[in-house]
Amino acid sequence: MASMFGYVSVPAFIVSSLVKFIVTTVWYSKPVFGTWAKRLAFGKRRRPKPSLQHLAVSVIGSIVSFSFFSTVLHVAKCQTPLDGALWGLALGLFFDSGMNASHCFFENRSFSLFLLHNGCHAVSLTTAGIVLALLCGSPSA
């Protein structure tokens, strides 16, 4: 089971998911963008501890989303890491931002918090696009 659909490799899913988790961990760390906790009013009360269920759902969602993303890269005939990066940036900025905009605005969250979260998604999808383009190889003609 080293490959799915003939053009997508399982190690590429795993590596791109790990890259996403690393980017997200660095992005939301206190030295980089630690102010998000204050904006969500976690400064006065303790932040909730992460649970194993949240981690499991995040891992499953990451694998499913990267399988979709690798299919998009294959259909678009991405041949270089730059192609993967551009598609990742486009999906992060336009598709993901469009999906999350209504949630953010109906919850009355600030626009800076919206930019913070979607910036993280754009950067992680860009790096994952590079990884998927490198590990999945050039599409066959």
- What residue segments make up the domains of the chain, in order of their start? 3-41+52-136
For the stretch 67-122, pLDDT in tens is: 788 888 888 888 899 999 999 999 988 888 888 888 888 888 778 888 888 888 89
- Its pTM stands at 0.78
Q: What is the DSSP string of the chain?
A: --EETTTEEHHHHHHHHHHHHHHHHHHTSHHHHTTHHHHTTTTTSPPPPP-HHHHHHHHHHHHHHHHHHHHHHHHTT--SHHHHHHHHHHIIIIIIHHHHHHHHHHTT--HHHHHHHHHHHHHHHHHHHHHHHHHH-PPP-
Residues belonging to the chain: 141
Q: What is the pLDDT of residue 99?
A: 83
